[in-house]
């Protein structure tokens, strides 16, 4: 291992590893240090996203949806399959294999780009020196002209709900259950709580989601949130709003959860309890006292819009800095920083970061919600199109939900696009591209969309903004 590099990246998650690869593509010498260790003791690059987040959750969402569809939907298509049985061990082996392939892929890409991957803990010292502690405890000092901090985030734990990793668990544990809990409690009806609740509900758990806020999915456009709530209720997710958990305790093989709502205090008994109340920036052991890097009041590393920290030539990207905790946001920041280090132009357009919730139906959006536009005081128009009127959605037995477009009354600028329905997470890419290029709804109206495709819903929603939808009644 060399002792000096152009760039050292601490953290090999979806923010750190793209920074390392892009820096190497920019002909800089790069080392990327990561300490992630799986439950089986193996080390892996890829961070939360590949090992314990985006990828394993989507693997289980896909498998559990197929299980659900085989049981309840195949007959509608005229397919008789007999008794559908769950082999959870096989489902979990598939999840683990996908994770292993994806994390192994990072090492291959590192190798082809000449990035030195170092397994161990990195600590930033003064003067852009980094102390690396290898898994066997050996310490080495390396240095770089530029250091990128990408140490990510970790689940928030509640003091009154003591985590034991067996009965009271976090999202990572909940992805690796080896049996379907009969009764599952989830604290938090955010993205992670809803996705994990959906997986285990589809596989047979009775799921109760306890959400402290009175409003469901407050971050989303409320037309979409209301539609989502209706579908989740129909699927059997018991979502209790305004339910504040005051304590939880393991008793034998059960968890007693005490929560308070408008009616008073209640006790819920479950077999497993997932705490999914959000994540916090992770900086433990990352910064020596004299590194000079400043944190904000909430523990995030303080950065400007180009991810520069308070110390020259030290940058920070991903979940450990402000902004939405999303893999793609971190990736763009990592790539931006690597280009800036190489003296190239780069920036991230934070106005068009898409959000996706991979439930069924999927939910995805970009830009402002109708509530935000209203609060901003700008006059606006809305167009929406139901998937019930989409031939492709009907053919897929997925005619639920809608696409909704909000645009400015004065210049027709697209302000926000919101989709709940089949493949919403894929459809939103068109919306992101349109907004990235400052498209108007007229631009979308004049763009040919193949028939029959789900993307026609966006086309028709754009037409509906001016009450010119062809395949639905204009209101």
Ligand X SMILES: Cc1cc2nc3c(=O)[nH]c(=O)nc-3n(C[C@H](O)[C@H](O)[C@H](O)COP(=O)(O)OP(=O)(O)OC[C@H]3O[C@@H](n4cnc5c(N)ncnc54)[C@H](O)[C@@H]3O)c2cc1C
Residues 280-319 touching ligand X, rule: CB under 6 A, are: 282, 285-286, 318-319
Count CB-CB contacts under 10 A for residue 413: 17
Candidate segments 229-237, 300-308, 327-335, 383-391, binder of ligand X by CB under 6 A = 327-335
The dihedrals phi and psi of 319, each to the nearest 5 degrees, come to: -65, -20
| Residue 364 near ligand X by CB under 6 A | no
| Residue 188 near ligand X by CB under 6 A | no
Q: Which is nearer to ligand X, 201 or 459 (CB)?
A: 201
Shortest Cβ 167–ligand X spacing (Å): 19
Count CB-CB contacts under 10 A for residue 431: 28
Shortest Cβ 5–ligand X spacing (Å): 15
Closest CA to 91 of 175, 13, 188, 20: 175
Q: Which is nearer to ligand X, 47 or 197 (CB)?
A: 47
Q: Is the dihedral of CA 429, 350, 372, 436 positive or negative?
A: negative
* Nearest-angstrom CA–CA distance, 11 and 7: 13
Q: Where are the beta strands (DSSP E) in 317-401?
A: 355-357, 362-367, 380-386
The single-letter DSSP state of residue 162 is -
Shortest Cβ 276–ligand X spacing (Å): 8
Shortest Cβ 47–ligand X spacing (Å): 2
* Nearest-angstrom CA–CA distance, 178 and 59: 15
The single-letter DSSP state of residue 302 is P
The single-letter DSSP state of residue 318 is G
Indicate which single residue of 303, 327, 363, 398 sits in contact with ligand X (rule: CB under 6 A): 327
* Nearest-angstrom CA–CA distance, 234 and 207: 13
Indicate which single residue of 5, 7, 28, 57 sits in contact with ligand X (rule: CB under 6 A): 57
Q: Which is nearer to ligand X, 61 or 464 (CB)?
A: 61
Residues 229-288 touching ligand X, rule: CB under 6 A, are: 282, 285-286
Candidate segments 7-15, 80-88, 232-240, 412-420, binder of ligand X by CB under 6 A = 7-15
Indicate which single residue of 117, 152, 361, 386 sits in contact with ligand X (rule: CB under 6 A): 152
Contacting residues for 316 by C-beta, under 8 A, at least 6 apart: 148, 149, 150, 293, 301, 303, 307, 309
| Residue 121 near ligand X by CB under 6 A | yes
Candidate segments 144-152, 235-243, 265-273, 435-443, binder of ligand X by CB under 6 A = 144-152
Beta bridge partners of 183: 206
Q: Which is nearer to ligand X, 291 or 407 (CB)?
A: 291
| Residue 401 near ligand X by CB under 6 A | no
Q: Which residues are catalytic?
A: 451
Per-residue tokens: 459: 């086309």
Q: Which residues would be at the binding site for ligand X (CB under 6 A)?
A: 10-16, 33-36, 47-49, 53-54, 57, 121-122, 150-153, 171, 192, 282, 285-286, 318-320, 325-328, 330
């Amino acid at each position: 291992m060399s002792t000096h590099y152009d760039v050292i990246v601490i953290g090999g998650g979806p923010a750190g590893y793209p920074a390392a690869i892009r820096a190497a593509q920019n002909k800089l010498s790069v080392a990327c240090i990561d300490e992630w260790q799986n439950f089986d003791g193996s080390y892996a690059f890829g961070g939360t996203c590949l090992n314990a987040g985006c990828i394993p959750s989507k693997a289980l969402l896909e498998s559990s949806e197929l299980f659900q569809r085989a049981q309840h939907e195949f007959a509608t298509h005229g397919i008789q399959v007999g008794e559908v049985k769950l082999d959870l061990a096989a489902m979990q082996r598939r999840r683990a294999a996908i994770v292993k392939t994806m994390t192994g892929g990072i090492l291959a890409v590192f190798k082809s780009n000449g990035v030195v991957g170092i397994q161990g803990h990195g600590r930033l010292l003064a003067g852009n020196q980094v102390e690396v502690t290898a898994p066997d405890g050996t310490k080495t000092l390396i240095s770089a002209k530029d250091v990128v901090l990408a140490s990510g985030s970790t689940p928030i734990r509640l003091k009154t709900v003591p985590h034991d990793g067996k009965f009271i668990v976090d999202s990572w544990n909940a992805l690796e259950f080896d049996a379907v809990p009969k009764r599952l409690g989830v604290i938090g009806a955010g993205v992670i709580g809803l996705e994990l609740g959906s997986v285990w509900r589809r596989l047979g758990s009775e799921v109760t989601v306890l959400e402290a806020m009175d409003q469901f999915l407050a971050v989303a456009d409320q037309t979409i949130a209301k539609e989502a709530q209706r579908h989740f209720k129909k699927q059997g997710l018991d979502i209790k709003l305004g339910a504040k958990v005051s304590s939880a305790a393991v008793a034998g093989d059960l968890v007693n959860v005490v929560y308070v709502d408008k009616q008073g205090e209640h006790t819920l008994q479950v077999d497993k309890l997932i705490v999914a109340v959000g994540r916090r920036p992770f900086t433990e052991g990352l910064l020596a006292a004299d590194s000079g890097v400043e944190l904000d009041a909430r523990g995030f590393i303080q950065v400007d819009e180009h991810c520069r920290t308070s110390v020259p030539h030290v940058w920070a990207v991903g979940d450990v800095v402000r902004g939405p905790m999303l893999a793609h946001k971190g990736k763009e920041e990592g790539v931006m920083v690597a280009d800036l280090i190489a003296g190239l132009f780069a920036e991230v357009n934070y106005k068009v970061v898409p959000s996706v919730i991979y439930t069924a139906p999927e939910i995805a959006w970009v830009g402002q919600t109708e509530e935000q536009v209203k609060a901003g005081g700008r006059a606006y128009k809305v167009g929406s199109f139901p998937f019930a009127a989409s031939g492709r959605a009907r053919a897929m037995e997925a005619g639920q939900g809608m696409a909704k477009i909000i645009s400015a009354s004065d210049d027709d600028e697209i302000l926000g696009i919101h989709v709940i329905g089949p493949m919403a997470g894929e459809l939103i890419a068109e919306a992101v591209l349109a907004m990235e290029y400052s498209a108007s709804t007229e631009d979308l109206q004049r763009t040919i969309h193949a028939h029959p495709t789900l993307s026609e819903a966006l086309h028709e929603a754009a037409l509906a903004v001016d009450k010119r939808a062809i395949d639905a009644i204009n209101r």
